[in-house]
Amino acid sequence: MKSVALLTLVILGSVFAIPSPNPPQDIPRPDIPPPEIELNAVDSHAPVLGIIPVDTYLYWIAKVYPVESLIENLEDSIAGAQRRLTKIFHLTTTEDIPRGTPCADITVLFARGIKEDGNLGALVGPAFVNAIRKKAGNRTVAVQGTNYPSTIQGYLQGGDPFGGRRMTIDVRYHLIRCPKTKLVMSGYSNGALIVRNSATVLTDLTMRKVSSVVLFGDPRYPEPVPNVSNSKLLNICHNGDSVCRLGSNMVLLSHFLYVRDVEKAAEFVISRLGDS
């Protein structure tokens, strides 16, 4: 089953990736077969994380992450896969905004998924942030990962309570300190629950100051996000993702593949900068 999934994923990835002009020499590169099917769900032709092609990144996600597992059994396998992915691609999995930093034009608050390293993780956060910076033009971008223990226990509780409080504090702090910044709230998987829990606590007046909300693999999809208008919300759920489609605790490979969607998500963020 896994070999079939890997082959399918590699075929899909080759359709929407541009070969890197100067690929990192220390990253093993897969042999990509010719595309055999048309990929309609993804419209992305840009590398992720600078010059790393999407197909290469997806290949290694499929290679090191489980194809199918109950969420209760994922903790060790996710942690190990995360470490391998971080090492292969030399990922920066933590971003903080030091106190005293000048206000940025765009401020991104991102909550990572279960057992991901740092405060951004590896599967979505770094690539999403990179895509926003690339599309921001002359605008400055500041990024704060949500510092919380992203555990399976917290996920099963409906989102870690500390994580929700932490994001709520970050939202209030950055809106007070930098009232002109365009604030983006975003999260992947468990992190999407953190965003939801924070939005529930924050007042409607505060949430109206938020420029956009972007969720990946949201376990409560397609429920509305409290105090967030549909025009400001992008909630991405893959058709084959049982976590967000069915609310299931069975995690399939498609739940780990949201790096495919970071370009579309970044375009949405930029398009909503005038809304808050």
The DSSP 8-state label assigned to residue 48 in this structure reads B
Catalytic residue among 160, 218, 241, 261: 241
**In a shared domain, residues 125 and 261:** yes
* In a shared domain, residues 76 and 110: no
Q: Are residues 43 and 114 in the same domain?
A: no
Same domain, 210 and 262: yes
Structural domain contains residue 99: no
| pLDDT of amino acid 271 | 97
Query: Domain range for residue 41?
Result: 2-89
- Tell me the C-alpha distance between 115 and 72, whole Å: 12
Residues 116 and 233 in one domain: yes
Query: Has 189 been annotated as catalytic?
Result: yes
Say yes or no: 59 and 125 in one domain.
no
Query: 74 and 13: one domain?
Result: yes
Q: Is residue 56 a part of any domain in this protein? A: yes
241 is catalytic: yes
pLDDT on residue 203: 96
- Is 13 part of a structural domain of the chain? yes
Q: Are residues 41 and 144 in the same domain?
A: no
Residue 62, in any domain of the structure: yes
Look at residues 56, 89, 122 and tell me which one is the last residue of a structural domain: 89
Q: Say if residue 238 is in the same domain as residue 189.
A: yes
Question: 3-class SS at 145?
Answer: strand
Marked catalytic residue, from 150, 212, 254, 255? 255
Residue-by-residue pLDDT tens, the chain, 276 positions: 444 444 344 333 333 332 333 334 444 444 433 332 223 333 333 456 666 777 788 888 888 888 888 887 777 788 888 888 888 888 889 999 998 899 999 999 999 999 899 999 999 999 999 999 999 999 999 999 999 998 888 898 999 999 999 999 999 999 999 999 999 999 999 999 999 999 999 999 999 999 999 999 999 999 999 999 999 999 999 998 999 998 888 899 999 999 999 999 999 999 999 865
45 in a structural domain: yes
Is 260 within the bounds of a domain? Answer: yes
Read off the pTM.
0.82
Name the catalytic one among 189, 211, 212, 254.
189
**Residue 97 corresponds to which tokens in the numbers above?**
């905004």
CATH number of 115's domain: 3.40.50.1820
Q: Is 255 assigned a catalytic role?
A: yes
Give me the sign of the Cα torsion angle 237, 238, 242, 245: positive
> Total structural domains in the chain?
2
Residues 143, 67 within the same domain: no
Peptide bond into 222 cis (omega under 30): yes
Helices assigned H by DSSP within the chain: 2-15, 54-64, 75-89, 125-135, 152-156, 161-177, 190-201, 204-208, 242-246, 262-271
Domain limit, last residue, from 21, 55, 89: 89
Residues 126, 263: one domain?
yes
